[in-house]
Structure 1
Amino acid sequence: MSTYEDRLAELGVTLPDAPAPAANYVPWAIVGDLVFVSGQISMQDGAFITGKLGDDMSVEEGAAAARTCAIGLLAQLKAACGGDLDRLVRVVKLTGFVNSTADFGDQPKVVNGCSDFLVEALGDAGRHTRSAVSAASLPFGVAVEIEGIFQIG
């Protein structure tokens, strides 16, 4: 088990197997020392976490959904690294999409669920640049989708 996975275990998190893509794309691509991970949607225990922020979901519920996206991102990164999560050098960039109403403005607070988890689990390697934007809808009605760029060694 990797050092990062030890830390995840301390947090009560076991990474799931990386899910297969749901359409005609690859889950991740390596270019040089960067891994580009396709958007991971909010899921827990095999079920979609659905909802629209500003309507039927609170910021706290949205942040919890974003945390599940972080776990999905790490699962894909582990797969990209041949099972060795300790190849991670740092999280470079996240782009978070929040299923929200037109007047909802707390997208950054929602995506913090992912960002905060990555820093908690990975320490300084988890600090990253980020965008957090609204989406009128997301696949399967999920609340959050987050994609990431990671540097590996």
Structure 2
Amino acid sequence: MNAAQDPRWAPHVTVATVVVRDGQLLLVEESIDGRAVLNQPAGHLEPGESLAAAAVRETLEETGWTVALTAFIGTYQWTAPDGTPFLRFAYAAEPVSHDPARALDAGILRALWLAPDALKAEAARLRSPLVWAVVADYLAGQRHPLSLVRETA
């Protein structure tokens, strides 16, 4: 039985934000298996949490930035080389305030702002191909109303 036929199969649901200030993207440099990689502020959806709330929370926890979501960019499906399936829900956001004293999540080396061209030049350091896919869609103007993703009770 392959993973698609296994009734216990469940992809990892993640959220990410594209936060832009003065033409630069808010990113995190994180340590994964001893390697410093670049990612959007991103993380896993927690039980009982909406996707939007998870995106705001993860951005704060990983960067110290409070953000306001402005648009839904898209949904992305990817299977990691080790076979782990991911579904990423990506949002555009505006920076609201920063708490430089806030401790960042474990594994986060630092938050940084990079121009899109500088990020593209670091392609070998991206945590996954999802990072650039989301940024490329954002840069191409892909934006959907936040109401596209509905949480129902």
Q: Shorter-chain TM-score: what band? A: under 0.3
Instruction: Identify which of structures 1 and 2 has the higher relative contact order when contacts are C-alpha pairs closer than 8 Å and 6+ apart.
Output: 1
Using structure 2 for the length normalisation, give the TM-score.
Answer: 0.25
